[in-house]
Amino acid sequence: AKVWIPDSVEVWRVAEITRDYKEGDTVLYLRLEDGSALAYPIESQLPPLCNPDCLSGADDLVALSYLHEPAVLHS
């Protein structure tokens, strides 16, 4: 699964989850688009999920599976 993580330069970055998440885990293991690994600390909630690639850049936001700030800005 792919998620959006906050970034100080790009505002939101896409990352792929590389290990299964189990409820109660405090870290989410991710791979960024440039191939680097990241241990993302989970504070209060999981990062928002990315929409499927077929919906990337959709003109009609109602068509998105997940509607949140990073999905709207990306579209």
Q: What is the pLDDT of residues 16-69, one digit of tens each?
A: 999 999 988 999 999 999 999 999 999 888 898 887 665 565 566 666 666 677
User: How far is residue 29 from each of residues 23, 48, 64, 66, measured CA to CA in Å?
Assistant: 14, 15, 25, 21
Instruction: Give the pLDDT confidence score for residue 45 in this predicted structure.
Output: 86
> Cα–Cα distance between 53 and 26 in angstroms, integer?
28
* pLDDT of res. 49: 84
| Residue 8 predicted with pLDDT over 60 | yes
Residue matched to tokens 């997940």: 66
Which pLDDT value is given to residue 50? 81
Tens digit of pLDDT for each residue in 35-46?
Answer: 999 999 998 888
Distance CA 2, CA 66 (A): 12
